[in-house]
Amino acid sequence: MYDRILVPVSFEVGRDAQKAVEVAQALRTKAGKITIFHVVEHLPQYANDLLPEDHLDVARRKITEVLRPLTAGVENVEVKIVEGHSARTIIDFAHEQEKDCIVIASHRPGIQDIFLGSTAARVVRHAQCPVHVIR
């Protein structure tokens, strides 16, 4: 059982975030806390300059609305949205916040993952805590 569980959520097709939250609930202690975590990827500067100044605030509000159903009926849960590189930010946040488990949904790997590596694969390889991968 774990006290501080991180559940990174991606909006890509084929990832079952709801199942990841359910597994996190099953793995946590009674007083354990779940953090639902989404990383907004950095945009290139030229793209960033073309967007309205408040585009990140708008994105955070909309992402929070989309993530809200994942928290329904879940006790002791928080939602955290940050900007960065997905895998590196997940790994760093888990380490800095002393998370003792990561539950991450992943797609079925394809040939492209051999060359690029999926976020879940990078998290599994580099996280300093146990990682449960949901497919």
d(CA 92, CA 86): 10
pTM: 0.91
pLDDT tens-digit profile of 57-108?
Answer: 999 999 999 999 999 999 999 999 999 999 999 999 999 999 999 999 987 6
**Number of domains forming the structure of the chain:** 1
Provide, rounded to the nearest whole percent, the portion of the chain with pLDDT above 70: 92
Round the CA-based radius of gyration of the chain to a whole number and report it: 15
Q: What are phi and psi of 37, to 5 degrees?
A: -130, 130
Q: Is the dihedral of CA 22, 27, 31, 34 positive or negative?
A: negative
Q: Tell me which residue range forms the domain holding 103.
A: 2-134
134 forms beta bridges with 105
Beta-carbon contacts of 4 under 8 Å, excluding residues fewer than 6 positions away, are: 32, 33, 35, 97, 98, 99, 100, 101
How many C-beta neighbours within 10 Å does residue 92 have? 14
CATH number at residue 108: 3.40.50.620
